[in-house]
Amino acid sequence: MGQVAWKGFFLSLFDYKTEKYVIAKNKKVGILYRVVQLTILAYLVGWVFIVKKSYQDTDTSLQSSVITKLKGVAFTNTSELGERLWDVADYVIPPQGENVFFVMTNLIVTPNQRQATCPEVGRTEPLGSQTPTKLGSDNIPDALCQQDEDCPAGEAVVAGNGVKTGRCLKDRDSIRGTCEILAWCPVEKRSKPKVNVLATTNESYLKSCRYSTEHPYCPIFLLGNIVRWAGSDFQEMALEGGVIGIQIEWNCDLDKAPSECNPHYSFSRLDNRFSEKSISSGYNFRFAKYYRDAEGVDYRTLIKAYGIRFDVMVNGKAGKFNIIPTIINIGSGLALMGAGAFFCDLVLLYLSKKSNFYRGKKYEEVRSSTSKSLSSPTLNGNQSPEQLGGL
């Protein structure tokens, strides 16, 4: 019996199976089949071809060049600089930023710095003046001292401005002082000035005003709009600085006119303002302007600039009709149609009440007339030679 079974299995490998179409008068399966067909057809036409435009050859390696220009002026009146008018040559850094540019909106100016010794603390009055000023800064704990031994000579101040000289400087009748350092003196002040925007109870003022001689404190309208679209307040951001990303999205259908290829703009804030663990929020940096007097002494004006840095990012894709992806997607749709028919076959042959009857009609074994088993066919009952498969 084992040899006969193996022989039958071996011979079955050479059997050829072909499809047999049976029309099943089953309304439930017929409705299911049409629903599956319509669903696949709607997916193929609606989603694949209309929404995703899969008939196009798409290129996502977009190459672009960004050119930025800023215009406008701003007016400030500070104790260090007095009345001053700022134009794009002053507050735009660098002048040609291209896809990254910085707009200065606030600053701390420390004029006439010279290399000398001074207290490691930002102050406006010189040491020993009659104006009461508290020495010592909690922002630089490494500079705090009570005696000279707390300021080892030659040791750099961590997060400070210079190198310790070995002296502890104190105010009158004060226990705590600050270390004397060798640095560019006087050192930078720690307090930030308020930004030059007019305080007003009218919340719509900053959204509707334009910069002019009558409104010197009004920010540039387009700049304010960008900050607002990024979900931030301009006055808060101008004080501390920040980074805004300008996303330019190009999605172009090259089968249409070039005039219909337009960019879509979106704005988002990129700095870590909302992070509770952030050590430094906003955006700022320092730069200096150096001079030399008639006696050959070098000095400088140190500027700590607060402002908004804009990162312009461009991406997108372009598509044009191509026969290759069109054929591929049509073939995929026809394959899905076949999968739908296969699913309905499973329902008809295995899940319906008359599944045995349908299986008997669908699957039929046909042998050639030369086969010994059918060389003399025998008719049983109402069977016909066609039902037995005689050829």
- Residue 149 is predicted with a pLDDT of 92
- Residue 221 is predicted with a pLDDT of 47
pLDDT in tens, 265-275: 788 888 876 55
Domain assignments of the chain as residue spans, ordered by start: 13-55+322-365, 74-120+187-319
Q: What is the mean pLDDT of the chain?
A: 76
- Residue 58 is predicted with a pLDDT of 81
Alpha-carbon span 248 to 243, nearest angstrom: 16
Could you tell me the pTM of the whole model? Answer: 0.52
Is residue 161 pLDDT above 80, yes or no?
yes
Alpha-carbon span 208 to 71, nearest angstrom: 18
Q: Calculate mean pLDDT across residues 14-18.
A: 77
Going by their DSSP bridges, the two strands 242-253 and 298-321 should be labelled as parallel
- Residue 164 is predicted with a pLDDT of 93
Is residue 241 pLDDT above 50, yes or no?
yes
Alpha-carbon span 165 to 167, nearest angstrom: 6
- Residue 99 is predicted with a pLDDT of 79
Tell me the two tokens of residue 106. 């606030």
Least confident of 47-51, 158-162, 217-221, 286-290: 217-221
Is the bond preceding 119 in cis, omega lying within 30 degrees of 0?
no
Tell me the two tokens of residue 338. 């076949």
The burial of 220, by beta-carbon neighbours within 10 Å (0-12 exposed, 13-18 middle, 19 or more buried), is given as middle
Per CATH, the architecture of 13-55+322-365 is what? Orthogonal Bundle (1.10)
Is residue 151 pLDDT above 50, yes or no?
yes
Q: When comparing pLDDT for 186 and 18, which is higher?
A: 186
Alpha-carbon span 271 to 283, nearest angstrom: 8
Say what percent of the chain tops pLDDT 90: 6
CB neighbours of residue 103 within 10 Å: 23
- Residue 180 is predicted with a pLDDT of 92
* Residue 260 three-state SS: helix
Q: Calculate mean pLDDT across residues 314-343.
A: 87
Q: When comparing pLDDT for 189 and 299, which is higher?
A: 299
Alpha-carbon span 141 to 164, nearest angstrom: 13
| Superfamily of domain covering 74-120+187-319 | atp-gated p2x4 ion channel domain (2.60.490.10)
